[in-house]
Amino acid sequence: MKRTVAFSKNATNLFFHVLTRCNLRCRHCYINPAQHGRETLPLATITRWLALFAGKSQTTNVIFLGGEPTLHPDLAQAVRSARRLGYQSVTIDTNGYLFHDILARVTPAEVDYFSFSLDGASAPTNDRIRGEGSYAACTAGIRSAAAAGFATSVIFTVSRDNLDELQQMPPLLQTLGVERFFIQVIGVRGQSARGTAAAQGPAGPQVSRQGWCQTVPAVAARAAAMGITVSYPKVFLDPGEPFACAGRVACNYFIFPNGRVYRCPLCEDYPLHSLMIADDTLRETGGINEAALFQLDIPEGCVMNKLIQPGNLAYDEAGRPVYRVACCLLKEELSPD
């Protein structure tokens, strides 16, 4: 199986947002132009910024994102730049519309995976979240990519809006010929954070601990039994299970068009980025930022979760957390038997 993004200890991933423009307006989109910029990066800038991270590890995976990255007219050339610079794997995350005839402009030898965002097993559910017609476009895009010889994966962001359809996803993915399934937990950021008080409450988008634990691991096991490799965040740690922060044990970089580089996606609505690209130079930012927060140990587990989206926490009568929340970038992976 080809390589792609790895959500594990010691992994190095570069999540490169080459633009923030998109043709869809998804309910849970995390893009925040006020914090991330509105630019479409020129190819020359993309190549120079790729070079800044190319030497950090011989096993760095690059993931091109947006917005919708296939809206970038030079995405194919950006892929080739990444290959020339020696990145271990190249993935394109897409909503499935596949603009600029991208499947004809790159080859399976250049792109390891096309990863498609699909948030429902049916058009009514997916389109309610992502926009009318997006289910048909995405499933058609998956079929076209597979027919052209590309490996495909699907990203499903679990929320209250679609948890009930998660169980229907494994047979759909098997029918579509999808090789990998990434189950994600929704974060209270971007569009999901609008009306933050309501977003944190029982009517917000996040799934309850009971709903997550009863559904997600079982669906992941079922998908793996059907021949699909599955990655999902545990979210809620078992009693006594140690907490680990990807900011300490892995290297993840989230680059945005305005030059901000985050290490933790939960911080992306705030100027907490620990790195900045200025004049094509990668610099550390000063003051209190995410890097300082990574070093804190708290009873709730993830510091960023406690600060930014504490609505998924619970406490006993003595004020002690009932459970701890795991790092969203360190995930469980199930491989087919």
Number of domains composing the chain: 1
Say which range, 197-201, 202-206, 298-302, 324-328, has the weakest mean pLDDT. 197-201
Mean pLDDT, rounded, of the chain: 95
Residue 278 has a CB neighbour count (10 Å cut-off) of 8
Whether 198 is covered by a domain: the verdict is: yes
Whether 290 is covered by a domain: the verdict is: no
Angle at 241 between CA 235 and CA 244, to 5 degrees: 65
Does 67 sit behind a cis peptide bond, omega within 30 degrees of 0 on the bond before it?
yes
Rounded distance, CA 308 to CA 290, Å?
A: 12
Whether 163 is covered by a domain: the verdict is: yes
CATH number at 157 reads: 3.20.20.70
Whether 19 is covered by a domain: the verdict is: yes
Contact residues for 112 (Cβ-Cβ < 8 A; gap 6+): 2, 3, 4, 89, 90, 91, 151
Two tokens at 242? Answer: 């140690």
Q: What's the rounded mean pLDDT across residues 269-279?
A: 96
Task: Check residue 57 and give its pLDDT.
Answer: 85
Whether 251 is covered by a domain: the verdict is: no
| DSSP β-bridge partners for residue 89 | 61
Whether 204 is covered by a domain: the verdict is: yes
- Whether the pLDDT of residue 300 is over 90: the answer is yes
Whether 287 is covered by a domain: the verdict is: no
Whether 273 is covered by a domain: the verdict is: no
Two tokens at 301? Answer: 């587990």
- Whether the pLDDT of residue 207 is over 60: the answer is yes
Query: When comparing pLDDT for 56 and 225, which is higher?
Result: 225
- Whether the pLDDT of residue 197 is over 60: the answer is no
> What is the span of the domain harbouring residue 200?
12-242+327-334
Encode the chain in three state secondary structure: CCCCCCCCCCCEEEEEECECCCCCCCCCCCCCHHHHCCCECCHHHHHHHHHHHHCCCCCEEEEEECCCHHHCCCHHHHHHHHHHCCCCEEEEEECCCCHHHHHHHCCCCCCCEEEEECCCCCHHHHHHHHCCCHHHHHHHHHHHHHHCCCEEEEEEEECCCCHHHHHHHHHHHHHHCCCEEEEEECCCCHHHHCCHHHHHCCCCCCCCHHHHHHHHHHHHHHHHHCCCEEEEECCECCCCCCCCCHHHHCEEEEECCCCEEECCHHHCCCCCCCEEEECCEEEECCCCCHHHHHCCCECCECHHHHHHCHHHCCECCCCCECCCECCCCCEEEECCC
Rounded distance, CA 59 to CA 5, Å?
A: 10
First to last CA, the chain: 14
Task: Check residue 201 and give its pLDDT.
Answer: 55
pLDDT tens digits, residue range 96-113?
A: 999 999 999 999 999 999
